């Protein structure tokens, strides 16, 4: 049972823990995909789904969610479990909401004696998934927005991810808040271009007088705000000027966040993940519903990810009709020196599998005190 991790061909587990759900994937240590691009989809992986993470009065339920997923993995895949060489977990709030990430990652490693383990923020697994291990910057946009520029070595530059009151600029919660504020201005008679937003908000939440009690009594206010982002996006798709302005501002904000994460020591390579980049505004029969599902996810890394785009398709081009994606792409194009914007190669779950494989590779990554914690035998 104490099989040397790197020496024996076996299996790795990747875990993605987010605010809307969690997943564990099983994959071989050696990437068997035929293409030269490892982790290019879920083809080689088996996946189980688990519960979403919660936040108690003090700290996150990440350890409990991971434990439950590993219990399920051990029960579901008993043969492979015995030869799991590495477990890598990407989790929202791993830095800000866990007191002792080192203790958590050690506990994860202890679940499979002999295995090595990593705990990472969701920004790290999003990065590893989208850029497939290349150095550069990745912005992940859902209810929140966070960018990470890293070479997984000496450079780690995080931008935003500060939550709906301090930042998350351009994210779902930001868009929803802007939309509801504009609706309230219309309701209050201090502006005249928020009529469509007000009508949409009344349809979603009822009479404006009831919105405060619906919102301020909730613990997931960012999620409630984010649930309106899809309506704003849909109205922008219909050409409503106030909604177009909000979505355009949002796209620019996210671009600024991404560009700021490109530390000068990094190659000018970037990618962007999150449903808002894939939501085709106005061109689907019910763009509102589709966009809501994308934008309303409580955590950036837990957004349903689009299937990997065909090579050559820019991230922005997949939602080309949207004010958000147009503004985002235009702002990224304005950056100097120029930035190569790549379509995401994979999801954060792909990134977790990649991280697990790196752990048992000849060149495992170093840890980082704010992004990545390791439990390796040698340490």
Please tell me whether residue 160 binds its own copies under the rule CB under 8 A.
Answer: yes
Please tell me whether residue 221 binds its own copies under the rule CB under 8 A.
Answer: yes
β-strand 136-141 against 269-273: which pairing, if any? parallel
With b for 16 or more beta-carbon neighbours within 10 A and e for fewer, the 114-142 pattern comes to bbbbbbbbbbbbbbbbbbbbbbbbbbbbb
State the residue for tokens 């890394």: 301
For its own copies, the closer of residues 167 and 365 by Cβ is 167
* Residue pair 345/40 in contact by the 8 Å Cβ criterion: yes
Q: Rounded to whole angstroms, how far apart are CA atoms 214 and 223?
A: 12
The binding track of 259-288 with respect to its own copies, each residue x by CB under 8 A or -, is xx----------------------------
Please tell me whether residue 194 binds its own copies under the rule CB under 8 A.
Answer: no
Q: Residue 291 CB, nearest distance to its own copies (Å)?
A: 21
Task: Among 96, 154, 283, 361, indicate the residue that binds its own copies (CB under 8 A).
Answer: 96
Task: Among 14, 133, 167, 346, indicate the residue that binds its own copies (CB under 8 A).
Answer: 167
Give which of 133, 136, 106 is closest to 118, Cα–Cα: 106
Task: Among 37, 74, 102, 162, indicate the residue that binds its own copies (CB under 8 A).
Answer: 162
Please tell me whether residue 207 binds its own copies under the rule CB under 8 A.
Answer: no
Task: Among 257, 299, 302, 305, indicate the residue that binds its own copies (CB under 8 A).
Answer: 257
For its own copies, the closer of residues 52 and 185 by Cβ is 185
Please tell me whether residue 215 binds its own copies under the rule CB under 8 A.
Answer: yes
Please tell me whether residue 212 binds its own copies under the rule CB under 8 A.
Answer: yes
Q: Rounded to whole angstroms, how far apart are CA atoms 144 and 222?
A: 8
Taking each continuous run of H as one helix and of E as one strand, the counts in the chain are 13, 13
For its own copies, the closer of residues 281 and 331 by Cβ is 331
Please tell me whether residue 7 binds its own copies under the rule CB under 8 A.
Answer: no
**Residue 210 CB contacts under 8 Å (≥ 6 apart), including other chains:** none
Tell me the H-state helices in the chain.
Answer: 62-76, 78-81, 101-110, 122-130, 172-188, 195-205, 211-216, 221-226, 229-237, 241-261, 287-295, 323-333, 348-359
Q: Residue 263 CB, nearest distance to its own copies (Å)?
A: 10
Please tell me whether residue 184 binds its own copies under the rule CB under 8 A.
Answer: yes
* Residue pair 222/163 in contact by the 8 Å Cβ criterion: yes
Interaction residues for its own copies, span 51-80 (CB under 8 A): 57
Token pair for 205: 């939440």
The binding track of 225-254 with respect to its own copies, each residue x by CB under 8 A or -, is x-----------------------------
* Residue pair 28/294 in contact by the 8 Å Cβ criterion: no
Contact residues toward its own copies (CB under 8 A) are 57, 96-97, 159-160, 162-167, 169, 177, 180-181, 184-185, 188-190, 208-209, 211-213, 215-217, 221, 225, 256-257, 259-260, 370
């Amino acid at each position: 049972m104490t099989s040397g991790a790197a020496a024996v061909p076996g299996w790795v587990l990747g875990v993605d823990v987010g605010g809307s759900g969690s997943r564990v994937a099983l994959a071989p240590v050696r990437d068997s995909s035929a293409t030269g691009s490892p982790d290019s989809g879920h083809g080689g992986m088996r996946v189980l789904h688990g519960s979403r993470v919660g936040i108690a009065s003090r700290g996150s339920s990440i350890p409990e969610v991971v434990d439950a997923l590993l219990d399920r993995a051990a029960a579901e895949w008993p043969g492979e479990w015995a030869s799991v060489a590495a477990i890598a977990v990407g989790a929202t709030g791993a830095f800000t909401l866990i007191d002792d990430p080192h203790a958590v990652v050690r506990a994860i490693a202890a679940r499979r004696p002999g295995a090595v383990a990593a705990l990472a923020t969701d920004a790290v697994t999003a990065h590893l998934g989208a850029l497939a291990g290349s150095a550069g910057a990745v912005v992940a946009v859902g209810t929140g927005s966070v960018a990470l520029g890293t070479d997984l070595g000496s450079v780690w530059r995080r931008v935003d991810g500060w939550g709906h009151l301090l930042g998350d600029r351009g994210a779902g919660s930001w868009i929803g808040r802007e939309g509801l504020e504009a609706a309230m201005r219309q309701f209050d008679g201090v502006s005249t271009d928020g009529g469509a937003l007000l009508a949409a908000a009344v349809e979603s939440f009822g009479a404006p007088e009831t919105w405060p009690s619906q919102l301020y009594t909730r613990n997931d206010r960012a999620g409630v705000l984010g649930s309106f982002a899809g309506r704003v996006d849909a109205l922008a798709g219909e050409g409503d000027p106030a909604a177009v302005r909000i979505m355009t501002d949002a796209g620019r904000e996210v671009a600024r966040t991404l560009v700021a994460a490109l530390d000068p020591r990094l190659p000018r390579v970037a990618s962007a993940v999150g449903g808002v980049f894939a939501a085709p505004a106005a061109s689907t029969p019910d763009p509102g519903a589709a966009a809501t599902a994308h934008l309303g996810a409580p955590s950036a890394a837990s957004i349903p990810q689009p299937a990997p785009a065909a090579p050559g398709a820019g991230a922005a081009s997949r939602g080309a009709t949207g004010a958000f994606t147009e503004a985002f792409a235009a702002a990224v194009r304005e950056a100097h020196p120029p930035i190569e914007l790549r379509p995401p190669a994979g999801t954060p779950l792909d990134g977790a599998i990649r991280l697990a494989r790196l752990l048992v590779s000849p060149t495992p990554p170093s840890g980082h005190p704010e992004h990545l914690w390791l439990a390796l035998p040698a340490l």
